[in-house]
Amino acid sequence: MLKVGVIGCGGMGRSHIDRITNRTQGAKVVAVSDVFEEGAKKAAEIAGGDCKVYTSGKDLINDPEVEAVLIVSPGFAHCDDLLEAIRLGKRVFCEKPLCTTADDCKKVMDAEVASGRHLIQLGFMRRYHKGYIQIKDAIATGEYGEPLMMHCTHRNPTVPTSYDTPMAVTDTVIHEIDLCHWMVNDDYDSVQVIMPKETSLTHDKCKDPQFMIMRTKSGIVIDVECFVNCQFGYDINCEVVTERASLKMGTPMAMSVKKDAKLTTEVTTDCFVLFKDAYDEEIQNWVDCAEKDVIEGPNTWDGYLAAVTADALVKAQQTGQIEKVITVDKPEFYK
């Protein structure tokens, strides 16, 4: 039984504690931490038993009973805890983003490489969604030829007024940034953002919709329509156009109903409904990998690449120009 400590007891932290306690196998939560002690105590109740409560992530990581750490605190707090876990050789599952700056991501990557062990998995859970896996596997067969283009949509019904223009990149399209390069096994070369006619249903600080284009090193062009006030649902689509085929993600688990002379299919409005199974799968895979001491999911390089690509896209939002994605060379360690 892998003994896990969870740092950050907000909604996502509590959801992972519940997942580990009630829905996945092979791990148990032995400690939780949050700067808000009351919140940590409430979260500890989900784990039950004698789950310990800390108010500092560092103290939790240093608890000898904690074998592996889940970091679900706000992004700005990740870097120090990641470095501490690497120093102690403890495995980590870290929610996105790895760190809030590319420099901090690089620091963490250097520390992990120096440790000689793959310790960190990132919470880009969409890699565990069946629809994307089917397309990735189909591309890998070679039967359809080389991928040339990808068309993605990422639509939310609405966003709060705290959501601003850069968040379309750092909070929303960050998922496609990670997914798309993984699906076609390539890294990014350049990006661009085009601002279409704005919806009247957005607010001052959020330009919406946005049309983002990413070009990979081999030349694949990926477009992502990001529309976070689309009103009608949480609508996620992906199509890969290859030399000989179009590979399009199906709508998962959506029942269609014929009634009263109408054919209807529900569109969910909730990302936690659409990706419920993916969340469970990613945590189960992280736990299973502990015994083998490997990381199969998104890793530190992916977190670094996502940060650098996101920086370039945020710049492109402002300049309207094509911006280069300039990374360090991918370390051998991650190839």
Nearest-approach distance from CB 291 to ligand ISE, in angstroms: 29
Three-class DSSP labels, the chain? CEEEEEECCCHHHHHHHHHHHHHCCCEEEEEEECCCHHHHHHHHHHHCCCCEEECCHHHHHHCCCCCEEEECCCHHHHHHHHHHHHHCCCEEEECCCCCCCHHHHHHHHHHHHHHCCCCEEECCHHHHCHHHHHHHHHHHHCCCCCEEEEEEEEECCCCCCCCCCCHHHHHHHHHHHHHHHHHHCCCEEEEEEECCCCCCCCCCCCCCCEEEEEEECCCCEEEEEEECCCCCCCEEEEEEEECCCEEECCCCCCCEEEECCEEEECCCCCHHHHCHHHHHHHHHHHHHHHHHCCCCCCCHHHHHHHHHHHHHHHHHHHHCCCEECCCCCCCHHHC
Residue 301 has a CB neighbour count (10 Å cut-off) of: 23
Residue with the CB atom nearest ligand ISE in the bound state: 172
Q: Closer CB to ligand ISE, residue 172 or residue 299?
A: 172
Q: Which is nearer to ligand ISE, 112 or 208 (CB)?
A: 208
Q: Which is nearer to ligand ISE, 39 or 123 (CB)?
A: 123
Our CB check for ligand ISE shows the closer of 273 and 294 to be: 273
Q: Which two tokens stand for residue 182?
A: 């993984």
> Residue 270 Cβ, how far from ligand ISE at the closest point, in Å?
10
Provide the minimum distance between the beta carbon of 210 and ligand ISE in the complex, in angstroms, as a whole number.
Answer: 12
| Residue 172 vs 300, nearer CB to ligand ISE | 172
Q: Give the residue with the Cβ less far from ligand ISE, 33 or 156.
A: 156
Q: Which is nearer to ligand ISE, 75 or 147 (CB)?
A: 75
- Which residues in this chain contact ligand ISE in the complex, by CB under 6 A? 156, 171-172, 175, 228, 271
Q: Minimum Å distance from CB 156 to ligand ISE?
A: 5
133/271 with CB nearer ligand ISE: 271
Rounded to the nearest whole angstrom, what is the least distance from the CB of residue 222 to ligand ISE in the complex?
A: 17
My answer on whether omega of the bond before 97 falls inside 30° of 0, hence cis, is yes
In the complex, least distance from residue 284 CB atom to ligand ISE, rounded to whole angstroms: 20
Smallest distance from ligand ISE to CB 119, Å? 24
- Cβ at position 96, least distance to ligand ISE in Å: 7
